[in-house]
Structure 1
Amino acid sequence: MLAGRPAVLFGFALLCALFLSCGGKKQQGPDVEEKDVDPELTGAVTSCEEGEAAGCYRLANMEANEAALRHQQNCEDQDFASCAQLATMYEYGIGVPTSPGNAFKLYKMGCAGGVGMACRGLAELYHSGEHVDRNLGLASAFYGKACAMGDKLSCTDMAWLHLGKGDFEADPKKGVELLQRFCDEGNSAACVGLGDAYDRGDGVKADKVKAVEILTAACEKKNTVACYKIALINATEGKGQNMEKATELFVAACEAGYPAGCVSVADLYLAGDVLELDLSEAAAYFYKACDLGSAEACTELGLMYIDGDGVEKSYKEAGTLYQLGCDGGDPRGCGNLGLLKQLGAEMDKDLVAAERLFKEACAGGIEEACAALEGMKAPSK
């Protein structure tokens, strides 16, 4: 692993944030006997603390299973916030098998019980149309309901819906008015949306100066996305003349916990134009982005472990990172892990798993994975 950096990858970090179940075992009093400690759990904790990403990943899954059981019991006891948390776990397959049907049902329960994030969950399902029939009218209604319950992200999403296109009767002017209203009320996410609208000319005349002004105010209030947006504007305007300022903002966004900022810094170290070429620093920033939840960063770091670029070459470590990337939704991670499984590179050869992973990657648009899948089906000569 990278020297001086914790081995906790994004799966574990995300679970800690969502489910408040970190550290491998609960606080124990002096009267608790050692036999009460699960040896498998202890092994995972030790492995993670020693810098093994696989141990951290195993620990994250164990923590997720425990969290799911707890939320299930609490939901049955009419704790609607737990219903909403459990819905998220079912939607993304965290600690429980992925089940869009259960997620939808639990989001409905949570929303009816007055939990804003549950109403937002329903809105997002209707907005994306991934697991239910796409219905932007219902998406807008549930975003509005969640917003009224104090869910600020939903306020912004509702406004953005008015700026978009589709089967919803969009009203860009109303979208900007909503963003302006929510921004004036102190919703920094809405300020980011408003700045974006002025930057791109969505529902309002494009005005880069005003966009930067709005985003700067949000950035000064510690909104990391706003800082990142300003960095992007600085990087793209004036033919890159503002790259020094952009880099400074990318670093600030990363240090504040915004993964896209970390990825941008890593890319700059890889390019060697603005920042001096430094593969170790690039790996370190990809590592941080992966830890913060960027599936793409996990995959990129896996590639660096394959080639030994800035890190010690390790197919095993690459496999763990590809798994994280795949689980996070990056089809490249699925395809790359499939190849390692097919070859048995520092792991057990598993052609069944390889075929499944190639299918996932192929469905995600990775042509090489489609070719690999066809190659597995072709009769050997």
Structure 2
Amino acid sequence: MMRFACLVLAALHLAPAAGAQGVTDCDRLAGYLPVPRAPDLPADLRGVAEIAEPAQAVAACEAARRSDPDPFLAFLLARALEAADPQDPRLPALVAEGAVASAPFAASRLGLLYQRGHGGLQRDDARARALFEESCAAFPDPRSLAGCNNLAAAMVLAEELPAAVTLFEQACDAGLGRACANLADRIEEGRAPGYDPLRMQPLRERACDLFEPHACIQAGYALTQTDPPETLGALRRFEIACDLGLADGCYRAGAVMRDATDMEFGWRARQEAFGRGCDGGVAESCYEVAVGLVYGEDGTGSLADPGEQAQGVAMFDQLCTDRDPWACTDLGYLYSEGLAVTRDPARAVALSARACALGLAVGCNNLAVHLATGDGLPQNLPQAARYYEQGCAGGSGLACLNLGDMLAAGDLGTPDPARAQAAFRKGCDLGEAEACTR
């Protein structure tokens, strides 16, 4: 271990200055957030939590290596290649090449390849742990912290809990956000002997401040659950996650702005947050963008831009094709009402039926409405009642209310007050206020 530590010092002394040729697209697309090439880079240049476009990242890193002598770029190319193909045989050699820039980080990355069985290597947990130990032996070198975190995680799997949480805390105190987040998770699981559960939130907030976006999500969610919710605090954490490249953080930031009751946020700010989440591949965020485009800033659609409405309708259509039942339901409603589209009851029926088939109770309710009213297909009250029952059983309070009304009115024959009351009670329990008045 002492010999390895000496080699580390020599390597660090001989390596070119990190990022000597400037920040590259490789850094932006494949950089490690907690371990950037240049430690003082701003958040938007440090890298990404997850590589969303592996081919683009590979091309950027190959280009960067042709013009920048920094051997740390080998790590970034290896990361991009692993995202594109975990079994790419070039991974071990690239990690070894990067050791010139940081031997401790190379040991940690090679350990992960063995742990995952990536890069054509046979999975070997013992070899992985030995490499994590070599990496962590260089502590307090900042680039050894990832190895210490990985070693602690291996200790958790081996049920060496006291030593593991001590090591997590050491790496956390030294500035590795992921270690802070892992310590918080172990506390939450009850696997951190002697640690107070009240430490979870501060640890996650510290992890977030140290560029660990998943911890930002956890910290933000905890703030939404306080009474009353800490809206601005939650929003700040979700926005940090978003800025660090985690699309779910963008979606959650938009959702906080949408749901806030203690303050108002601009429609355009909400749309921008949802748009970033959609661009990152979060389908729920795309749905919210479509809702905003169709119904506009006032939420009624009356003032919405027709061109933006057409974009929203197209997004609903694509989401429905991709099996999003809420998008099918909303699109069906638009065709039923003739809002932003030409009214087409038959199309509305087909969309509501698809939503119901995809398991959305509200879709079953809407299909039942068409059957009960004969709008878009022949009236069929018994079949409408069956779909109301299906929607009610699936959790739609409105379906329960509609079913109760049918039973109470005798639309299926003799009125059935007992079954009607049971339907009203369930609708009330599901939050349908009108059912409670029945």
Aligned CA distance change for structure 1 residues 216 and 314 (closer, same or farther; 3 Å) = same
Question: Do residues 259 (structure 1) and 198 (structure 2) align?
Answer: no
SS in 2 for 1:114: coil
- What TM-score do the two structures reach when normalised by structure 2? 0.54
Aligned residues: 288
Q: CA deviation at 1:250?
A: 2.1
1:68-87 matches, within 5 Å, as 81=21, 85-87=24-26
1:252-291 matches, within 5 Å, as 252-272=206-226, 277-291=229-243
The partner residue of 1:297 within 235, 249, 265 is 249
Identity among equivalent pairs (%): 17
Question: Do residues 111 (structure 1) and 68 (structure 2) align?
Answer: no
1:130-141 matches, within 5 Å, as 133-141=85-93
Question: Do residues 214 (structure 1) and 161 (structure 2) align?
Answer: no
Distance in 2, Cα, partners of 1:369 & 1:289: 26
Unaligned stretches of 5+ residues in structure 1: 1-78
The partner residue of 1:122 within 57, 74, 77 is 77
Amino acid at match of 1:110: A
CA contact (8 A) 2:74 2:95 kept: yes
Question: Do residues 320 (structure 1) and 276 (structure 2) align?
Answer: no
Amino acid at match of 1:114: P
Structure number, greater radius of gyration: 2
Amino acid at match of 2:344: S
Q: CA deviation at 1:305?
A: 1.7
Aligned CA distance change for structure 1 residues 102 and 219 (closer, same or farther; 3 Å) = closer
Distance in 2, Cα, partners of 1:361 & 1:193: 41
Cα RMSD (Å)? 4.0
Question: 1:245-274 CA distances to partner (integer Å, 9 max, x unpaired)?
Answer: 2223223333444333333222222223xx
Q: CA deviation at 1:326?
A: 2.6
- What TM-score do the two structures reach when normalised by structure 1? 0.61
Question: 1:314-342 CA distances to partner (integer Å, 9 max, x unpaired)?
Answer: 33221011122233443332332133224
Aligned CA distance change for structure 1 residues 277 and 90 (closer, same or farther; 3 Å) = closer
Distance in 1, Cα, partners of 2:241 & 2:55: 31
CA contact (8 A) 1:338 1:353 kept: yes
1:355 alignment counterpart: 314
Question: 1:58-117 CA distances to partner (integer Å, 9 max, x unpaired)?
Answer: xxxxxxxxxxxxxxxxxxxxx9956x713456789x9xxx98666434422433553345
Instruction: State the structure with bigger RCO (CA 8 A, min sep 6), 1 or 2.
Output: 1
Distance in 1, Cα, partners of 2:244 & 2:344: 43
Q: CA deviation at 1:279?
A: 3.6
1:308 alignment counterpart: 260
1:147 alignment counterpart: 99
SS in 2 for 1:188: helix
1:230 alignment counterpart: 183
Q: CA deviation at 1:196?
A: 1.3
Distance in 2, Cα, partners of 1:362 & 1:143: 42
Distance in 2, Cα, partners of 1:103 & 1:123: 10
SS in 2 for 1:245: helix
Question: 1:174-213 CA distances to partner (integer Å, 9 max, x unpaired)?
Answer: 11111110111121111111111212x2xxx231112112
1:31 alignment counterpart: none
CA contact (8 A) 1:91 1:99 kept: no
Amino acid at match of 2:286: C
Amino acid at match of 1:341: L
Distance in 2, Cα, partners of 1:123 & 1:115: 14
Distance in 2, Cα, partners of 1:359 & 1:170: 41
CA contact (8 A) 2:186 2:192 kept: no
Unaligned stretches of 5+ residues in structure 2: 1-18, 32-44, 46-51, 299-303, 336-340, 346-438
